[in-house]
Structure 1
Amino acid sequence: MTEQSPSKKSLFLARTITSLWKLLAGWSLAALWRIAMLLGPLVYRFSKRERQVTQINLEVVNPEATASQRKALAIQSLRHSAATMLELGHAWMAAPNKVETSILSVHGRDKLDIARADGRGVIVLAPHFGNWEVLNFWLSSHFPFTAMYEPPKIAGLEPVIRHGRERMGARLVPTNARGVAALLKALKRSEAIGILPDQEPNWGSGVFAPFYGRDAYTATLLPKLVARTQARVVTGVALRVPGKGFEIHFLDADEQVYSEDDVVSASGVNASVEASIALDPVQYQWEYKRYRKVIEQQQGLPNADDFRLY
């Protein structure tokens, strides 16, 4: 069976988006942040899905906040999400020295260096916080780095995104058994790999574990990788300093991640994500339906995309 070529609509969208990224790659981070400041309130007002999911998530993590306080947090969070989208051209297409100089500081690099000096690989948990593409840029610039990759919905963007993520040496592998085997080999070579710890996996590839006190379906890939490689686990984020640049932070993962019990390990993964979010809660992508699988289970639904069921 041959792979379908991108449709004319897909190609048009891809060319338009790529042209926009190329244009924005030449702009300053200060200018991009000013645009994001304007976009945040507009997304809150006109995008029902983003507004309601963000508000529901913020109710879970800030139950004592007033409605007006949560609204302010939601708008600020959507500003950061808009900034991340605007900064993709910067991370993927700007001159490498421009991206490198936008990284103002790196905290906790020794956690990676020590592990590799001991002959151990490093698993970097990279949640959707700040600008994770800048984190990918830095990691692949300084270490042999492998990460899983799922092609975008707009097929025409595939070569653009892949080139942007691989341009500093990162190796992207598919989200299947072949990709897992590649991650294992990289860890056994004492290299670094990246895992997205806050994306809900397909049924059968995860367990329910608490995230801010509420069960969230969480992947169980991590304990399998640790058990077979004795890798060190850290959480990595690129914290945005609005209009100025980014601070890279590497934090020790919660010790539970090393458990052989899937639920305990997944609880440690979620605790690690919570610790990184604490650096600046509004920089987390709260518009992601982190608790969707719980609703699917409770309602007996194959898909709980309807925000009213969230």
Structure 2
Amino acid sequence: MAAGESPSSELQARAIATLWRSLARRRLTTLWWLARLAGPLVEQLSRRERRVTRTNLMTVYPSCNDAQRRQLARQSLTHSTATMLELGFAWRGDLKRVEASILEVHGRELLDKARDEGRGVIVLAPHFGNWEVLNFWLSGHFPFTAMYEPPKLAPLEPIIRQGRERRGARLVPTTPRGVAALLKALKRAEAVGILPDQEPDWGRGVFAPFYNRLAYTATLLPKLVARTQARVVTGVALRLPGKGFAVHFLAADPRVYATDEVTSATGVNASVEAVIALDPAQYQWEYKRYRKTPQEAEDHPDFKHFRLYR
């Protein structure tokens, strides 16, 4: 046990790792069946996830009625449950089985074209479908580097790292050192992955519209593009319930290439909206995407350093 770790955290990590090993051997049909059973329980018992999901859906789909939003919330929580159940499959499942589960790949030519031109590729990978399967595919077909934040349960870190790196992906920290590693990879005409829908710390983002409501959005992308002339795509692994996955790469909204950070962030959010349209139920709506607000920014002592959407 490492210094600072409690016996309870070690036990939790062992239990989770054992569960992942067990789930890694299950068929996707079984995992989807379990998700459909557990999804309604998650909706009933996880008050926070239920409340945040429904609140977000009211914001982004105001024209839907309550029954439609409740149904979409239930479907979304079922898909999120499926993603959690599939972690063992993606990280510890037999390599040939996981590869065979990827039944379709759309838009690969966008990555190949960029590399043929000697450019790196930035893959915007939102919390949609199974992003671990997307990482699996990318790291098996391209030199791939992705930013990584260690889990809160520290004993799980080596297990997660091994799962994500087992096909050659390189994980780098969410620090200036990690950003430097991304830049080097892009200059080598490789692929890198960043999360476009995770709320950054104050000072590392701008407010830009996401479904017509301002969301605090990271500004890492325009910095990477400006220094490398990389191409930008959005990538997801769409779940085909009980069957497998379809990997989709879509050209990013052209505004992502703007040097103005607010314009670029607006393009990033529009790119995320475009992939959500593939199947809104597969987006992780339980994430508090609108947690930070412009009013909070104005009240912040470093407000002069923030930029708002206008």
Q: Deviations over 1:72-93 (max 9, x none)?
A: 1100000000000000000000
Flag the 1:261–1:50 CA change in 2: closer, same or farther, 3 A.
Answer: same
1:84-163 matches, within 5 Å, as: 84-163=83-162
The corresponding residue for 2:6 is: 7
The number of aligned residues is 300
Q: Which runs of 5+ in 2 are unaligned?
A: 302-310
Provide the C-alpha distance between the structure 2 equivalents of 1:157 and 1:296, rounded to a whole number of angstroms: 37
Report the Cα offset of residue 207 of structure 1. Answer: 0.2
The alpha carbon displacement at 1:301 in A equals 8.6
The match for 1:305 is: none
Moved over 4 A (4+): 298-302
SS of alignment partner, residue 289 of structure 2: coil
Q: TM-score, normalised by structure 2?
A: 0.95
Deviation at 1:44, TM superposition (A): 1.0
How many Å apart are 1:300 and its aligned residue?
5.2
Shift of 1:66: 1.3
Shift of 1:46: 1.2
Farther-moved stretch of structure 1 (61-70 vs 108-117):
61-70
Q: Tell me the distance in 1 between the aligned counterparts of 2:212 and 2:167.
A: 38
Code of the residue aligned with 2:252 in structure 1: it is A
Residue identity over aligned pairs, in percent, reads 69
What SS class does the counterpart of residue 91 from structure 1 fall into?
helix
How far did residue 65 of structure 1 move? 1.2
- Structure 1 counterpart of 2:179, one-letter code: V
How far is 1:150 from its partner? 0.5
- The whole-number CA distance in structure 2 between the counterparts of 1:292 and 1:189 is 36
Match of 1:240 in 2: 239
**Within 2, Cα distance between the matches of 1:195 and 1:113?**
19
Correspondence for 1:26: 25
Q: Which amino acid is the alignment partner of residue 24 of structure 1?
A: L
Matches for 1:1-310 after TM superposition, within 5 Å: 4-294=3-293, 297=296
Distance in 2 of aligned mates of 1:288 and 1:155: 22
Q: How far did residue 39 of structure 1 move?
A: 1.2
Query: Structure 1 212/186 Cα, relative in aligned 2: closer, same or farther at 3 Å?
Result: same
**Deviation of 1:174 (Å):** 0.6
Q: Kindly state the Cα deviation for residue 5 of structure 1 after the two structures are TM-superposed.
A: 3.7
Cα separation, partners in 2 of 1:51 and 1:299, compared to 1, 3 Å: farther
1:143-196 alpha-carbon deviations (Å, 9 max, x no partner): 000000010000110000000000000000010000000000000000000000
The question of whether the paired residues in 1 share the 8 Å contact of 2:136 and 2:164 is answered with yes
TM-score (norm 1): 0.95
Tell me which residue corresponds to 1:308.
none
**1:146–1:70 CA distance, 2 compared to 1 (3 A):** same
CA contact (8 A) 2:233 2:250 kept: yes
Q: Which runs of 5+ in 1 are unaligned?
A: 303-310
* Residue of structure 1 in register with 2:307 after alignment: none
| Cα deviations by residue, 1:270-296 (Å, 9 ceiling, x for unpaired) | 000000000000000000000001177
- 1:307 maps to which residue? none
Q: For the residues of structure 1 that align with 2:36 and 2:298, how far apart are their CA atoms?
A: 38
